[in-house]
Amino acid sequence: MLKQHLQFKLSQKLSPQQIQLMKLIQLPTQAFEQRINQELEENPALESGKEEKNSLDEDFSEDYEGESDSESIGAEDINIDDYLSDDEVPDYKTRANNYSPDDDEKSIPYAAGISFNQYLINQLNTVYLNDLEWAIAEFLVGSVDESGYIRRPLADIADDLAFTQNIHCEEADIERVLKIVQELDPPGVAARTLDECLILQLKRKERTPNIELAINILDKSFEQFTKKHYKKLLQKYDIKEDELKEAVSEIEKLNPKPGGSYAGSNKVIEHIVPDFSIKIVDGELELTLNGRNAPELHISNEYSNMLAGYKSAKDKSKSQKDAVMFIKQKLDSAKWFIDAIKQRQQTLYITMNAIMQYQKEYFLSGDERKLRPMILKDIADAIHMDVSTVSRVANSKYVDTPYGTKLIKEYFSESMKNEEGEDVSTREIKSILETVISDEEKKKPLTDDKLAALLKDKGYPIARRTVAKYREQLGIPVARLRKQI
Lowest mean pLDDT among 88-92, 267-271, 405-409, 462-466: 88-92
Q: Which residues contact 479 (CB under 8 A, 6 or more apart)?
A: 445, 446, 447, 448
CA angle (301 as vertex; 299, 303 as ends), nearest 5: 85
pLDDT at 110: 44
| Whole-angstrom distance, CA of residue 209 vs CA of residue 239 | 12
Three-state DSSP at 287 gives strand
**Residue 424 pLDDT level (bands cut at 50, 70, 90):** low
pLDDT at 267: 46
| Whole-angstrom distance, CA of residue 103 vs CA of residue 108 | 14
Does residue 22 register a pLDDT over 70? yes
Torsions phi, psi for 167 (to 5 deg): -110, 115
- Of the two residues 19 and 158, the one the predictor is more confident about is 158
Sign of CA dihedral 229, 233, 239, 244: negative
- Which percentage of the chain shows pLDDT scores above 90? 8
| Whole-angstrom distance, CA of residue 183 vs CA of residue 267 | 23
CB-facing half-sphere around the CA of 148: CA atoms within 13 A: 26
Sign of CA dihedral 108, 112, 113, 116: positive
List pLDDT tens digits, range 398-416: 999 998 888 898 888 765 6
Average pLDDT, the chain: 76
| Whole-angstrom distance, CA of residue 5 vs CA of residue 288 | 57
- Of the two residues 81 and 346, the one the predictor is more confident about is 346
pLDDT at 475: 80
Lowest mean pLDDT among 76-90, 170-184, 340-354: 76-90
pLDDT at 111: 45
List pLDDT tens digits, range 197-250: 898 998 888 888 888 888 888 888 888 888 888 888 888 888 888 888 888 888
Does residue 377 register a pLDDT over 50? yes
- Which percentage of the chain shows pLDDT scores above 70? 74
Most confident segment among 265-269, 378-382, 443-447: 378-382
List pLDDT tens digits, range 28-40: 888 888 888 888 8
Parallel, antiparallel or unpaired: strands 423-425 and 415-417: antiparallel
Cα–Cα distances in angstroms (integers) from residue 460 to residues 35, 80, 434, 466, 469, in the given order: 47, 69, 14, 11, 15
What's the mean pLDDT in 267-278? 73
What's the mean pLDDT in 191-196? 88
**Residue 372 pLDDT level (bands cut at 50, 70, 90):** confident
DSSP state of 314: S
pLDDT at 277: 93
**Residue 358 pLDDT level (bands cut at 50, 70, 90):** very high
Most confident segment among 94-98, 123-127, 340-344: 340-344
pLDDT at 91: 40
Does residue 440 register a pLDDT over 60? yes
Does residue 80 register a pLDDT over 60? no
Does residue 95 register a pLDDT over 70? no
